[in-house]
Structure 1
Amino acid sequence: MSDTARAADGRDDGDSFSSAAVPTVGTVLSAVTVAALLVPVRHGADDPGLWIGAAAALVATGVFLGRRHDVLERRLAGPVAAGASFLVVVLSGYAITQGVLGSVVVPGLEWSVSLLFVAFFVASGGVGVGIADYAGVSGRGLKHRLARSTEMLLLAGIGLFAISVASLFVALPVFLVAGEPTDFQWTIIEYVSFAVGLGAVTAGYLALRDHDVSFIDLERPTLRTVGWIVGGLILILAANLGVSALMTVFGIEGSEHTTTQQAAENPDLLLVIIPAMVLFVGPFEELLYRNVIQKTLYGTFSRYGAVVVASVVFTAVHISAYATAGADQILASLSLLFVLSLILGTIYERTDNLLVPALVHGCYNAAIFLTLL
């Protein structure tokens, strides 16, 4: 690979500072994770998972330090650091779902901060840095990947805001003609606004990046397409059942989606919600999160790396939809959502056809709401 190509790819170009930047970042993240886990232990938290997690974070810190000083080879150190950090994510996440938050009050501000959440998110960053180090990504490349990920997260946030704005315009004619909308009418307005908002953001972003309609991956259905849709739907339903059963075994409770709560209180809304999942939610969420966000990330990450990052973005923007219970239940529900998003992202990556994940997503959601009838 030429120096120009290497620099464009964000790989280690041999510069000592650039090559040391990634393990340095990993060292800092792992050290913060160690502290975030040991402080609750010192304050009386007796969960053995915290001790194991702290030990794993300490291992990651030592490995990153070894890479920083060229004592360890990146091909060995990267997977070890990423694996140790992932163990911290699992253990701290499980502790949170069991109600162990390790909260402390920030001196002078009187803010309560959960150190277990700090460990969870910082260790998640450590996983990414370990993988980046293994792949030979330079400090410049890591910065570029972080910037692109932030851009996609902002785009997703703009999508949420656009839905709210669209609802004002969609609801206005109803107010003028019929007055205050009923719950049934509000539900119709909500899903029409969903499509208008996400569709407008998608169109705006494609125009900003000088992409035309050919950027949207839509192909005519074939037998292969039908096979992927049926297989994908079976897979995502099985994953839901499997993860839910696993959560039950470990005593982990999730939080209900706000739409599920609304449907449980007013079953008549299901007459709108179920078809809307297939016609609006599945297609327009997959259009933005997979065909735009994930596909854009292909230019910065590997294709499977883009699947993971896009799934993180997808999960993050759904936090408000599950914010109906405690932090432990929200985290459990978002973890399940992340797994399901990985499946949808992989289906899109394998098919390069928006139709497949759109129908799998929409039909999956519809099937979940059908159980409420």
Structure 2
Amino acid sequence: MGETTQATDNSPTLEVVPTIGVGLSGVALAGVFVPLRRGVSDPVITVAVVCALFALVAFVARRHGLLDRTVGGLGAAAASLCVVLLSGYALNQEIAGSVSLSLGVGSVSLSTVFGAFLAASIAIGVGIAESVGIDGYGVLRRARTTVGLTILGWVGLFSAALTMELFAVPVVLLRGEISDVEWMVVAQVGMAVGTGLVAIGYLVATDRDWSFIDLRVPTLRDVGWTVGGVALLFGALLVISVILSTTGTESAEHATVDQARENPELMLVLIPAAILVIGPFEELLYRNVVQKAMYDVFSRQGAIVAGSVVFSIVHLSAYATAGLGAVMASLGVVFGLSLVLGFIYERTDNLVVPALVHGIYNAVVFANLYFTYA
């Protein structure tokens, strides 16, 4: 752990964490109970209600000292994970538990099942925190760090888009109308510069020097991790794809698929850009900056998970091509692949390795799109 967080049974802050868990699991239970109360007989919802109830009971029991910290915390976390998986699947099957909220000038429809998904997701972390003795301040500090670095991730995304637009202006002025392929080249340059500037800005804002960037010539061990990492990443994709296919879970297409369908030649730009730009600069920001910054407050394993949450969230706009359930499934895939990249970075402490693994993976995907639609 990056800090000492053990609390004793007499700590006045000990009850804060399970109390938070009680609230979150209560929200999750209410969220999945709505469609059940409305007569939805799908067993997914029924089991989700049972899991949410189990999480609530575990947190309450831990709150009153009826369960050991480890048993209560991990039990609540496991039950909450069950709720996350089942509520996510329910959303994918269009079981939303929608309710209308009047705003005076109109009404908005909210999904209680999605609310259960979010509450249970946070409850997983709270349960794990309780199981290892992290107090309320520790939970708050980790939450604050995660939110702050998520904002940084979004800033990196929008900075890349803004820089791309700025780079496009002189190109258009000099050349007039530019083709889609030329625009894609400009976009990749803008992505590199924009993301790089955000990473540098983070170093300046946090008084860190260049030694924070884990950039070095790969050793023979790093080469082994690169080769094995590519295999591991595609293996993870295969396993996740089989699970989605077996369960009948639909996923959303990445916006790049639409681009490939309309103009396959764009992939000829993205294939080299994957290795030279996308892999290196995404890994720079989301692994070397976001994940490494999390080492200060999380364990290394926790930083991999939290960093992958951030990585998944910032990809939301790229997969916003379908319904909520399909988008969540795709973000789940991104999360799983990000765990692999985060693990590789944590094992090597060398940005070059996950950058190459990420870049090669994307290059293969883009090449496949090119040959599919050309």
Is contact 1:253–1:329 with CA below 8 Å preserved after alignment? yes
Distance apart, 1:181 and its partner CA? 2.1
* Per-residue Cα deviation, 1:40-63 (whole angstroms, up to 9, x for no partner): 111222211111111111111111
Is contact 2:35–2:95 with CA below 8 Å preserved after alignment? no
Counterpart pick for 1:207 among 200, 204, 207: 204
Is contact 1:11–1:141 with CA below 8 Å preserved after alignment? no
Counterpart pick for 2:330 among 328, 333, 350: 333
The one-letter amino acid of 2:290's match is: I
Q: How does 1:1-373 map to 2 (within 5 A)?
A: 9-12=4-7, 16-108=11-103, 110-372=107-369, 373=371
Distance of 1:253 and 1:170 partners within structure 2: 37
Secondary structure class of the residue paired with 1:220: coil
TM-score, normalised to structure 1, is 0.96
Distance apart, 1:14 and its partner CA? 5.5
The number of residues matched between the two structures is 368
Is contact 1:78–1:133 with CA below 8 Å preserved after alignment? yes
Is contact 1:82–1:126 with CA below 8 Å preserved after alignment? yes
TM-score, normalised to structure 2, is 0.95
Distance of 1:83 and 1:262 partners within structure 2: 40
Q: List gaps (5 residues or longer) in structure 1.
A: none
Distance apart, 1:244 and its partner CA? 1.0
Is contact 1:9–1:141 with CA below 8 Å preserved after alignment? no
The one-letter amino acid of 2:139's match is: L
Distance of 1:77 and 1:369 partners within structure 2: 46
Distance apart, 1:325 and its partner CA? 1.0
Identity of aligned residues (%): 48
Distance of 2:61 and 2:37 partners within structure 1: 28
Is contact 1:88–1:120 with CA below 8 Å preserved after alignment? yes
Distance of 1:171 and 1:95 partners within structure 2: 43
Is contact 1:56–1:85 with CA below 8 Å preserved after alignment? yes
Distance of 2:263 and 2:278 partners within structure 1: 20
Distance apart, 1:168 and its partner CA? 2.3
Distance apart, 1:9 and its partner CA? 2.7
Secondary structure class of the residue paired with 1:267: coil
Distance of 1:61 and 1:250 partners within structure 2: 27
